[in-house]
Amino acid sequence: LSWAISNQKLKMTTYSIGVDLGGTNLRIAAVDEQAQLLEKVTLGTQVTLGRDRVMDDMGAAIRRIADKYERKASLAGIGIGVPGIIDMQTGMLRESPNLPGWADYPVRAEIEKRLGTRVILENDANAAALGEKWLGAGRDFDDMAMITLGTGVGGGLILGGRIWHGMTGMAGEFGHIAVEPEGHPCGCGSRGCAEQYASATAVVRMAREAIATGGASGLLRTTSSDPEFSAKAVYNLAIQGDEAAKEIFRGVGRALGIVLAALVNGLNLPIYVIGGGVASAWEAFSPSMFAELQQRSMVYAAAAPPVPAVGAREASAQLEPRRSGKTIITRALLGTDAGLYGAARLALQGG
Ligand SMILES: [Zn+2]
């Protein structure tokens, strides 16, 4: 009997639990080593209910999943993607614009207390990059960089298949590379950061600026309080041919082109992936992005694929140049699941 049990245990599949703690949603997935999604849960927990409530709900949901698979699979670990700056040593969330009231909160210790087991904490943009590397646009590459265009602009660097943290865990802040030396003030304390020109928040601000200067009647209708939604409305106007809206996305493309030129010149990686909600506006910003990049990066110009792809369908075709050593700039493939899969992957990798 004991042989039968241990044999059964050997055959058990290994899985991990990934958590994406967003500013609005809390999502949890159980994923096995073969990248098979076992379960995906979205908790309607409102961050405004406070961090204790969010932590309690998260802990309970993780425990429910762990209990459910206890006899069927072996849990490798739990990975949690958190928006904001994380102290990797202490597991403290230092600062998070999307989670007000969570500054200097010991997220890792609090969740470990509720679960009675170790968890791995990671910045959400880093987790998204690892997810795209594992199962998305970067799956055929060991090294890649990702830029995530959401409410802010995040970034993640993958080297040798693992997240590059840098000395203090803060590597990959591509959104704070300056694209306008004396430009718009940024929440980070600097000016003219990419985040001020290529995020959903920036798209809305630039739309308001265009309205203020007059002659942008189409944009008047787009103002609303939700940056992600409003940025989408500006994009819809742009694809309908509204000149003011098109110019905003040309600006997004120029900002991204400058950031990409810095990354390509500095890192010479085989692939750069653009994700996040604003990446859906690829058709509106990518022509000016590629033009700017081509002009500003000799490294890119020397290794650019013949014709930059436009649109998601071309993304797989664009992966072709890897055999000829061409630099690939492409859209992310996993959408909002990238961070969730990345968090699960972290736990499978053991950090
Ligand atoms: Zn900044």
Cα-to-centroid distance, 118 and ligand 1 (Å): 33
Cα-to-centroid distance, 150 and ligand 1 (Å): 14
Cα-to-centroid distance, 153 and ligand 1 (Å): 9
Cα-to-centroid distance, 340 and ligand 1 (Å): 25
Cα-to-centroid distance, 175 and ligand 1 (Å): 7
CA atoms lying within 13 Å on the CB side of residue 123: 28
Concatenating the DSSP letter of every residue in 184-206 gives SB-TTS-BSBTHHHHSHHHHHHH
pLDDT (0 to 100) of residue 48: 74
Concatenating the DSSP letter of every residue in 243-311 gives HHHHHHHHHHHHHHHHHHHHHHHHH--SEEEEESGGGGGHHHHHHHHHHHHHHH-HHHHHT--SS---S
In the chain, DSSP assigns E strands to 13-21, 26-32, 37-43, 73-82, 85-87, 92-95, 120-123, 144-149, 153-159, 162-163, 271-275, 328-331
Q: What is the DSSP letter of 15?
A: E
DSSP β-ladder status, 144-149 and 153-159: antiparallel
Cα-to-centroid distance, 258 and ligand 1 (Å): 15
How many residues comprise the chain?
351
Cα-to-centroid distance, 304 and ligand 1 (Å): 29
Match 């993607």 to its residue by tokens. 81
Cα-to-centroid distance, 34 and ligand 1 (Å): 38
Cα-to-centroid distance, 66 and ligand 1 (Å): 39
Q: What is the DSSP letter of 172?
A: T
Dist. CA 104–CA 334, nearest whole Å: 31
Structure tokens at 79: 């990975």
Cα-to-centroid distance, 149 and ligand 1 (Å): 14
Cα-to-centroid distance, 155 and ligand 1 (Å): 12
Per-residue pLDDT tens listing for the chain (351 residues): 455 555 455 568 999 999 999 877 889 999 999 999 999 999 876 777 888 999 999 999 999 999 999 999 999 999 999 988 888 889 999 888 778 888 899 999 999 999 988 899 999 999 999 999 999 999 999 999 999 999 899 999 999 999 999 998 889 999 999 999 999 999 899 999 999 999 999 999 999 999 999 878 888 877 766 777 799 999 999 999 999 999 999 999 999 999 999 999 999 999 999 999 999 999 999 999 999 999 999 999 988 777 555 554 444 444 555 556 789 999 999 998 999 999 999 999 987
Q: Is the pTM of this model over 0.85?
A: yes
Residues with CB under 5 A from ligand 1 (ion): 176, 186, 188, 190, 193
